[in-house]
Structure 1
Amino acid sequence: MDCFNLKPAAIYAAGFNYKGGSSMKILLGKPVADKITQELITEVNKLKEKCVTPKLTIVRVGNKEDDMAYQRGAIKRCESIGIQVDVKAFDDDIDEIEFIDGLKNINEDKSVNGILVLRPLPKHIDEDKIKNIINPNKDVDCLNTINLGKLLEGDKSGFAPCTPTAVMEILKYYEIPVESKNVVVIGRSTVVGKPISILLLNKNATVTICHSKTEDLESITREADILIAAVGKAKMINKSFIKEDAIVIDVGINVDEDGNLCGDVDFEDCKDKAAMITPVPRGVGSVTTSILAKHVVNAAKIQ
């Protein structure tokens, strides 16, 4: 059954002994996102009383479906809170210099509090050349190396990436302990894999990072109390990758052969073996947009 408002803390406190099958719980993002949203509405109203309206600019190159899906969700969430959203869309064949000039103009716009660059960018645009263009105080998804450094040091004055933070919020909301738990992260990108590993380490989890060069991947993932899939391959993770009653967090946003959004985890194959699992859509993604909104509001306060 879906766990819209169930938080079995007593079960989690003793460890992950919750059985799968008919008792398996789907960790929906909506109640987590709604809680954050309600808190933000109050904060935005207070800012507006001071004649401050938080503004986010989304920078998109091309029209990839996963980017478009995230953009739609971000706009809907932000506007429901009272955050103004502007989208700057560039053709996927835009020249790198032209893109950099456009990003600089956005960064210098004093009306913009937060900037989100949808990634990954096309291969002809070097992220190393653009990541430090964005003012750290406007860098709401941790592209700038200053914010990455703060994340590594545990300095909470910076902005951590939205998706890894959303994962932590889901674990927190459903009262799933991570301290001393064996957590396996599949994926080592600076967008999800590495940051979520740092955030988990800061909560005293024992973290293993797996990637494309990892040998015998399944034997490692089957040892995980919590498995976080962030590899970017549709339905790559099936039940052979998880142990009985594991917690499975699916960060992937992909499009399957039928044109439908899906995650890195084969949900139907894994749902009866996992104790708890996030779906795609309706899982991590819906919380990510709330974290994005929270960062924009905090950026407005800083500026």
Structure 2
Amino acid sequence: MIINGKEISEKRLAVLKDEISKSGLSPCLATIIVGEDPASQMYVRMKHKACGEVGIKSAGITLSSDLKTEEIISEVSKLNSDPSVHGILVQLPLPKHVDTRAVITAVSPDKDVDGFHPYNSGLLFSGRPDFVPCTPGGIMTLLKEYKIKTAGKKAVVAGRSVDVGRPMAALLLNADATVTICHSKTSNLEEEMKSADILVSAIGKAKFVGPDMVKKGAVVIDVGINRDENGKLCGDVDFEAVRDKVYAITPVPGGVGPMTIATLMENTFTSAKKHAEL
């Protein structure tokens, strides 16, 4: 079974557009991009395009790459105090000289639609999530849409990043899976991955996961966005080599990526509704 993230995201965005239209609210997402990284610019354009499609206003702020941490935080603070802005997204990565943690922490938790603020991370890990990071949140939506059970299943998350690996593990744990996190220092990586009923790969190595690393009948979620030896877009998983061995698998592209943006839109509308109640 191919898990079609593009199809599910389009369905959910259509529902969201209708909900926003009926709500009478004017949700607004503000993005901050520092520097001129082409990949970051592309991702921000995709997010703004999605905003336009569902009826969310968007404001883009582009800052010079030579700005200091304090200057970037000053821009974040302006958005925090702007009542017309409901979601704030700081596009990562930031330039190396910038204190990324300080910038992320400067975002007001109630506008942290990326779910990266320590406050929202704490809620997630305590089992009371509010804003959830968009990629893991989108993956959980896919599992629900395809009626893939998590309770009692062994889930292995390959990767321990704060934006995907760690929150993914917390969400699966909250959904009653038994969770193992693997990373670059895991000594028996192949054995751990092959034991998974649900395998989430977020390690960033093109076609790293082959059929020998996957259990027969497993569900494989590929978060990787890489280029193969021919420059073609691919995931962490060798899709063609693995697909016939597993029960379900996400393709790259068209799997997890569209759900990340859909979840960001949903988080922004959720924030707008919360602010309307204040």
In the superposition, the TM-score normalised over structure 2's length comes to 0.91
Q: Return the alpha-carbon distance in structure 2 between the equivalents of residues 292 and 41 of structure 1.
A: 13
Q: Return the alpha-carbon distance in structure 2 between the equivalents of residues 113 and 214 of structure 1.
A: 40
Specify the SS of the correspondent of 1:132.
helix
Q: For 1:234, which of 206, 211, 234 is the aligned residue?
A: 206
Unmatched 5+ stretches in structure 1: 1-24
Partner of 1:60: 33
Kindly state the Cα deviation for residue 26 of structure 1 after the two structures are TM-superposed: 1.3
Matches for 1:109-124 after TM superposition, within 5 Å: 109-124=82-97
Partner of 1:143: 116
Specify the SS of the correspondent of 2:113.
coil
**1:224 corresponds to 2:224:** no
Q: Return the alpha-carbon distance in structure 2 between the equivalents of residues 254 and 30 of structure 1.
A: 18
The alpha-carbon distance between structure 1 residues 234 and 100, as it changes in their structure 2 partners (threshold 3 A), is farther
Partner of 1:245: 217
**1:286 corresponds to 2:258:** yes
How many residues are paired up?
A: 275
Cα deviation, 1:238-263, whole Å, max 9, x if unaligned, reads 22221222211011223445444322
**1:263 corresponds to 2:230:** no
% identical equivalent positions = 44
Q: Return the alpha-carbon distance in structure 2 between the equivalents of residues 89 and 249 of structure 1.
A: 33
The alpha-carbon distance between structure 1 residues 205 and 91, as it changes in their structure 2 partners (threshold 3 A), is same
- Give the counterpart letter for 1:110 in structure 2: P
Q: For 1:80, which of 30, 37, 53 is the aligned residue?
A: 53
Contact 1:66–1:253 (8 Å) recurs in 2: no
Partner of 1:35: 11
The alpha-carbon distance between structure 1 residues 124 and 256, as it changes in their structure 2 partners (threshold 3 A), is farther
The alpha-carbon distance between structure 1 residues 269 and 121, as it changes in their structure 2 partners (threshold 3 A), is farther
- Give the counterpart letter for 2:15 in structure 1: E
Specify the SS of the correspondent of 2:105.
coil
- Give the counterpart letter for 2:238 in structure 1: D
The alpha-carbon distance between structure 1 residues 79 and 238, as it changes in their structure 2 partners (threshold 3 A), is same
Q: Which moved more, 1:202-211 or 1:56-65?
A: 56-65
In the superposition, the TM-score normalised over structure 1's length comes to 0.84
Q: Return the alpha-carbon distance in structure 2 between the equivalents of residues 62 and 237 of structure 1.
A: 33
The alpha-carbon distance between structure 1 residues 113 and 260, as it changes in their structure 2 partners (threshold 3 A), is farther
Q: For 1:45, which of 8, 11, 21 is the aligned residue?
A: 21
Partner of 1:182: 154
Contact 2:227–2:233 (8 Å) recurs in 1: yes
Specify the SS of the correspondent of 2:186.
coil
**1:102 corresponds to 2:75:** yes
Unmatched 5+ stretches in structure 2: none
Kindly state the Cα deviation for residue 137 of structure 1 after the two structures are TM-superposed: 1.1
**1:134 corresponds to 2:110:** no
- Give the counterpart letter for 1:30 in structure 2: K
Matches for 1:156-167 after TM superposition, within 5 Å: 156=129, 158-167=130-139
Contact 1:184–1:208 (8 Å) recurs in 2: yes
- Give the counterpart letter for 1:289 in structure 2: I
Specify the SS of the correspondent of 1:264.
coil
Partner of 1:8: none
The alpha-carbon distance between structure 1 residues 68 and 265, as it changes in their structure 2 partners (threshold 3 A), is farther
Contact 1:27–1:283 (8 Å) recurs in 2: yes
Q: Looking at both structures, which has the greater relative contact order when contacts are Cα pairs under 8 Å and sequence separation is at least 6?
A: 1
Kindly state the Cα deviation for residue 102 of structure 1 after the two structures are TM-superposed: 2.3
Cα deviation, 1:65-107, whole Å, max 9, x if unaligned, reads 5434432332232211111122222344433232222222232
